[in-house]
Amino acid sequence: MTEDATVTAGPSPHRHTFAPAKIAGKFQGKHIISVDQFAKDDLEILFDATKSIRKRSRQHDRGLTEIAAGRVMASLFYESSTRTDMSFQAAMRRLGGDVIAASNGVRFSSVYKGENLADTVRAAGCYADVIVLRHPQVGSSYEAAYFLDKLNQRIDKRTVVVSGGDGVGEHPTQALLDLFTIIDSKGALDHQSITLVGDLKNGRTVHSLSKLIAYYRPKGTRLNMVAPETLRMPESIIAMLTDLDVEIHETEALDDVLGESDVLYWTRIQEERFANKEAYDAIKDHFIMVPELLDQAPKNAVLMHPLPRKHEMGTVEDHEGLDADPRSIYFEQMENGMFVRMALLAKVLREAYV
Amino acid sequence: MTEDATVTAGPSPHRHTFAPAKIAGKFQGKHIISVDQFAKDDLEILFDATKSIRKRSRQHDRGLTEIAAGRVMASLFYESSTRTDMSFQAAMRRLGGDVIAASNGVRFSSVYKGENLADTVRAAGCYADVIVLRHPQVGSSYEAAYFLDKLNQRIDKRTVVVSGGDGVGEHPTQALLDLFTIIDSKGALDHQSITLVGDLKNGRTVHSLSKLIAYYRPKGTRLNMVAPETLRMPESIIAMLTDLDVEIHETEALDDVLGESDVLYWTRIQEERFANKEAYDAIKDHFIMVPELLDQAPKNAVLMHPLPRKHEMGTVEDHEGLDADPRSIYFEQMENGMFVRMALLAKVLREAYV
Amino acid sequence: MTEDATVTAGPSPHRHTFAPAKIAGKFQGKHIISVDQFAKDDLEILFDATKSIRKRSRQHDRGLTEIAAGRVMASLFYESSTRTDMSFQAAMRRLGGDVIAASNGVRFSSVYKGENLADTVRAAGCYADVIVLRHPQVGSSYEAAYFLDKLNQRIDKRTVVVSGGDGVGEHPTQALLDLFTIIDSKGALDHQSITLVGDLKNGRTVHSLSKLIAYYRPKGTRLNMVAPETLRMPESIIAMLTDLDVEIHETEALDDVLGESDVLYWTRIQEERFANKEAYDAIKDHFIMVPELLDQAPKNAVLMHPLPRKHEMGTVEDHEGLDADPRSIYFEQMENGMFVRMALLAKVLREAYV
């Protein structure tokens, strides 16, 4: 994930010792580092704010730029993620806020000089009101939150961290925008058949989305998990979903569930996860979405993808074919990402305004 | 031009299949990717707006910051160009707009993960109102325009691309600022003797400027083309200029035209274009501008250069000598670049305001 | 300090030929490149403005954003310094100004193409009102100031450079924020015992801070210089301090002065400065600040550090111990950096407003 060996240490111990506050109806001043902070009421508040902001944004409502006016967001991306990075920046800008970032990228600066994350985050915390952190180390956003809380005891200022993804750990805003897009496109989460496809063992996005679906406590919703035997969804997540009354259907064959899927959530399978090329070749055709495969999905299904996409959506020609299908909503999903992040930043910075 | 082999594929096929709309008096919502989009009327509209904006900017007219308020520009520079990059950013800022860019540079992000330009441009298109694209691949801005048009059919939003240069292909805003500077400094384009010096075969800026001069349909204007035999202006451009009644004078010897030049447009010759060092050494002295050479130009001539400059303007001491000559207007030319880009962004985003 | 050999030439000759203007009560339009520009009156003006801005900033006074509205700062960081970089950016943003920077970092752009600093600075000077320059070459900010003055004779615009540090040369805003923090935390500079610890021979920050203390002309103030014999404060600075009636006490043993120190200013000693590991090991324990050592300092002392910190403050556990001590004010010091830079930018851009 990164070329810089100095930042690829093991997971941060703070992942296990620091517990972020539950939202519980109040966003302002809270770090946003895990989907575990959200209950159904919180999601409904956030998604209502998202819809309102999207509508006002499309009307070029200049009042939006009052929400974060005078506030500063520091963008600390220790690994590149153009999409998440620009989405957060655009969100802050469209709320009238400002963005700062190291001119040469953060990879080449404090880290290069050997400073630890704790001190860099506190530097940013002195200058900014919110820090968006992307870091290859699992648990880094917990560590950032822990040290910002320490800083906030010393200086007259409350700075929060919003996770932009930490290694193979969590990426909560991706899960929030995914769930928002499902509900927004289907009208509700209840009674949907949602099919997750790809590497469900290692895929950060499908783990967080599954949890968030469960926290929303839908009625009559079924999660179809389509993955090779060796890349199945972890047992702990399956157990949690079952406990929260989400119906689970695990299979290796997309055909089992394609015809009944209301939502297709497509992700990547990486060849290097397999013991040998034969093992990969044996299953790969079930996991490449192409126009001919989408033709077999229901007429009112939607096709989602967290992007970026590569060979799991075939060739460049296949991309064009899929893009032309009205069921493909991954670009709308991406645009929703900006609106969800606008709502989240607005709530975290100035609750009352949205 | 770039160190990153992954982005230096052959020219994009969209260069030949996608035709950008002619301006034809209306800028708003149009991609700006080629000088071929401009006719004389369009240039006059743009240059009038440029002069107005320059005047207002120097008066610190705060009304300028209303023009792009609430609008976002994404800066996608796949290769570095500090001057063009900062000029566009400053232009957008001075119009009250916002700028987003990948914190670590775009070279290290989506491209590194293997995402194609089509998807990265559409991501930026979801977040921004205008994308400034610099890319080493010829035709990349055509490809960006093509896919943004596709995106614009899907989401409720019109995002345009403005080219910041694509490889050895086109760099339309450079040509626009060059032509503006000629007309602004000489009072008119008619009856000028304009001398282009350097590698006219491979020089992107001299090709685009020559075309734009022709599109302006000047009367009694002469283009002197000073280049080594092996680096002559391509025949196709010569033919086009001749068709549009621009007088052409090709020569290898600057002395032939120096004394009658109203405008000297200096560019670089690269040693590696020659078969051997002897061939280069034989001609190089004709193509290095130094104070002693400028002394031989007419008193009311102007010396232009697209910058950055290197040995084609001699040593650092030569630079200082040239800079001190009032005929050297390359810094004014550079500043005009920002004003032309302000006018262009203003017209493209909100036609009526300027 | 940098990986890029092309920018690590010898010191710029302009360091010796260009003399920046003294502040002498007037900041507007002046380059800020050396502590030598400041006399006591200037420091008092600046620090009063800093306190006012800090207070207004904490009250979220929106009037602050009028101060630099419509003005643009170019961030030219030829080497990384996340802290200084983000601090300046946040300062400009919180004054309502805008910031531009090369999207890929300046290291990969003009420098890579071989453009010299003089031309890059003038490009930025065409687009921006103030340039913050960080460059590994000693004297680079003098060179930038010299060429901006040349440019300012040609275009209708006054752009100033503010140094963000030049190699082992000067870093004036660091010294300004250090002195502000001492006076702010202790109530006055008179009658303080200030202990500087570390590599006093090569340390840029301790040189500049020492000079600035002298320029403030304190009464009854003592500077304790704690360094190994081979890393003593240069004789020229000692002589200057003595001339200006600052009492000096040089020692290799912290114990001599720890118990009487009102201010402890801690900096790093680098092992590679010593002839061999034995020489380093022999002294290093005197120069590592840990909680047990801080316990021996007076109850009302303050511990400062320019940050980033490494092993000179022990382990990560030691960091946490030190951070918990109310005498450790290095985070407040860092936050003050932003406020001092806000005051400085405000004074330089629009004197009357603060």
* Residue-wise pLDDT tens digits, B335-349: 999 999 999 999 999
Task: Tell me the C-alpha distance between C121 and C161, whole Å.
Answer: 9
User: For residue C107, what pLDDT band results from cuts at 50, 70 and 90?
Assistant: low
Tell me the shortest Cα–Cα distance from B85 to chain A, in angstroms.
13
State whether C113 and B308 contact (CB < 8 Å).
Answer: yes
Q: Look at residue B161 and tell me whether its pLDDT is greater than 90.
A: yes
CATH topology for B172-323 is Rossmann fold (3.40.50)
Average pLDDT of the residues in B157-172: 93
The stretch B319-323 carries a mean pLDDT of 96
Nearest-CB residue to C86 (from A70, A100, A118): A100
Q: Looking at residues C110-122, what average pLDDT do you find?
A: 73
Q: What pLDDT, on the 0 to 100 scale, is given for residue C114?
A: 56
Give, in words, the CATH class of A172-333. Answer: alpha beta
Query: What's the pLDDT at C1?
Result: 32
DSSP B88-115: HHHHHHHTT-EEE--TT-GGGTHHHHT-
Output the average pLDDT for chain B. Answer: 91
Confidence of residue C285 (pLDDT cuts 50, 70, 90): confident
pLDDT higher than 90, residue C3: no
Most B CBs within 10 Å: which of A53, A59, A79, A80, as the mutation test of the B interface? A80
B vs C, Cβ pairs < 8 A, gives 109
Query: Residue C270 — very low, low, confident or very high, per pLDDT cuts 50/70/90?
Result: confident
Closest CA to B127 of A81, A92, A48, A63: A92
Find the mean pLDDT for residues C307-328. 93
DSSP B232: P
Distance CA B272, CA A37 (A): 61
State yes or no: is B251 an active-site residue. no
DSSP state of C70: T
Assess whether pLDDT exceeds 70 at residue C16: yes
Which H/E stretch holds residue A150? Answer: helix A140-152
User: In CATH terms, are C5-170+341-353 and C172-323 the same topology?
Assistant: yes
Topology classification of domain A21-170+337-348: Rossmann fold (3.40.50)
- In single-letter form, the type of residue at position B244 comes to L
Among the listed residues B134, B135, B222, B268, the single catalytic one is B134
pTM for this predicted structure? 0.94
Interface of A with C (CB under 8 A): 69-70, 72, 74, 98, 100-106, 108-110, 112-116, 118-120, 122-124, 126-128, 150-151, 154-157
Domain ranges of chain A: 21-170+337-348, 172-333
pLDDT of residue B147: 96
pLDDT in tens, B12-55: 778 878 999 999 999 999 999 999 999 999 999 999 999 999 99
- Is a pLDDT exceeding 80 seen at residue C274? yes
Contacts A83 to B, Cβ<8 Å: 110, 123
pLDDT, position C102: 86
Question: Which one of B62, B113, B219, B310 is the catalytic residue?
Answer: B113
Residue partners of A6: CB distance under 8 A and separation at least 6: A111, A112, A114
Q: What is the interface pTM, i.e. ipTM, of the complex?
A: 0.92
Report which of B257, B273, B253, B138 is spatially closest to residue B199, judged by C-alpha positions.
B273
Shortest CB distance from A110 goes to which of C75, C76, C82?
C82
User: DSSP class of residue B118?
Assistant: H
Q: Which of B100, B102, B118 lies at the smallest CB-CB distance from A80? A: B102
Which of C149, C100, C66 has its CA nearest to residue C350?
C66
CA atoms within 13 A on the CB side of C183: 24
What would you report as the CA-atom Rg of chain B, rounded to the nearest whole angstrom?
Answer: 20
- Asked if residue C57 lies in contact with residue C339, where contact means CB atoms within 8 angstroms, the answer is yes
**pLDDT tens per residue, range A315-345:** 989 999 999 999 999 999 999 999 999 999 9
Q: Write the secondary structure of C308-339 as one string of H (helix), E (strand) and C (coil).
A: CCCHHHCCHHHHHHHHCCCCECHHHHHHHHHH
What is residue A104's predicted lDDT score, i.e. its pLDDT? 79
Which of C3, C93, C127 is the best substitution to test chain B (most B C-beta atoms within 10 A)? C127
Which residues have a Cβ under 8 Å from the Cβ of C101 and sit 6 or more positions away? A103, B86, B89, C74, C75, C76, C77
pLDDT confidence of residue B175: 98
A127, A129, A131, A146: best to mutate for the C interface, most C CBs within 10 A: A127
Q: Give B150's contacts in chain A (Cβ within 8 Å).
A: 323
| Biggest CA-to-CA distance, chain C | 60
Q: How confident is the model at residue A79 (pLDDT cuts 50, 70, 90)?
A: confident
**Residues above pLDDT 70, as percent of chain C:** 95
Residue C106 to chain B, least CA–CA distance (Å) = 7
Check CB contact under 8 Å for A72 and C90: yes
Catalytic residue among B51, B56, B83, B311: B83
Phi/psi for C107 (5° steps) reads -60, -35
Overall CATH class of domain C5-170+341-353: alpha beta
pLDDT of residue B1: 32
CA distances from A195 to A174, A190, A295, A306, C282 (A): 17, 14, 16, 14, 66
Average pLDDT over residues B274-284: 84
Instruction: Give the tokens for residue A156.
Output: 């007259």
Share of chain C above pLDDT 90, in %: 77
Residue listed under structure tokens 């004389």 = B40
Partners of A310 on chain B (C-beta within 8 Å) are 114-115
- In the prediction, which pLDDT does A4 show? 37
The question of whether A207 is a catalytic residue gets the answer: no
pLDDT digits (tens, 9 = 90+) for C43-52: 999 999 999 9
pLDDT at B109: 43
Is the N-terminal amide bond of C291 cis, ω within 30° of 0? no
Q: Which amino acid makes up residue A107?
A: R
**Which member of A102, A112, A155 has the closest CB to residue C332?**
A155
pLDDT at A352: 73
Closest to C89 (Cα-Cα) out of B60, A106, B65: A106
Residue A224's pLDDT band (cuts 50, 70, 90): very high
Shortest Cα distance, chain A CAs vs residue C243, angstroms: 37
Least confident of A162-166, B105-109, B344-348, C339-343: B105-109
Residue of A nearest to B129 (CA): A90
Stretch among A26-30, A202-206, B72-76 having the lowest mean pLDDT: A202-206
Does C112 contact B80 at a Cβ distance shorter than 8 Å? yes
The token pair that represents B112 in the structure block: 């590194």
Mean per-residue pLDDT, A170-198: 97
User: B82 to chain C: which residues are within 8 Å by CB?
Assistant: 102, 106, 109-110, 120, 123-124
Q: Pairing state of beta strands C222-226 and C160-166?
A: unpaired
- Contacts of residue A9 in chain C, CB cutoff 8 Å? none
Q: Could you please report the per-residue DSSP string of C247-280? A: EEEEES-THHHHTT-SEEEE----GGGSSSHHHH
Per-residue pLDDT tens over the stretch C68-87: 999 999 999 998 889 999 99
Residue range A267-318, pLDDT digits in tens: 998 887 788 888 888 887 779 999 999 999 999 999 999 999 988 999 989 9
Q: Give the pLDDT of residue A119.
A: 93
Cα–Cα dist C7/C107, whole Å: 9
Determine what percent of chain A is predicted with pLDDT higher than 70.
Answer: 95
pLDDT in tens, A5-54: 333 446 777 887 899 999 999 999 999 999 999 999 999 999 999 999 99
Mean pLDDT of C15-39: 95
CA angle C321/C323/C329 to nearest 5° reads 145
- Specify which residues B191 forms β-bridges with: none
Query: Quick one: what percent of chain B has pLDDT higher than 90?
Result: 77
- Residue A195's H or E segment, with its range, is strand A193-197
Confidence band, pLDDT 50/70/90 cuts, at residue B10: low
Superfamily of domain B5-170+337-353: Aspartate/ornithine carbamoyltransferase (3.40.50.1370)
Q: Which of B305, B339, B302 is nearest to B319 (CA)?
A: B305
> Which residue of B65, B104, B108, B121 to mutate against A (max A Cβ within 10 Å)?
B104
Compute the mean pLDDT over every residue in chain C, rounded to the nearest whole number. 91
Q: Do C110 and B83 touch (CB under 8 A)?
A: yes
Q: Which of A74, A103, A122 sits opposite C331 (nearest CB)?
A: A122
Residues of C catalogued as catalytic:
83-84, 113, 134, 171
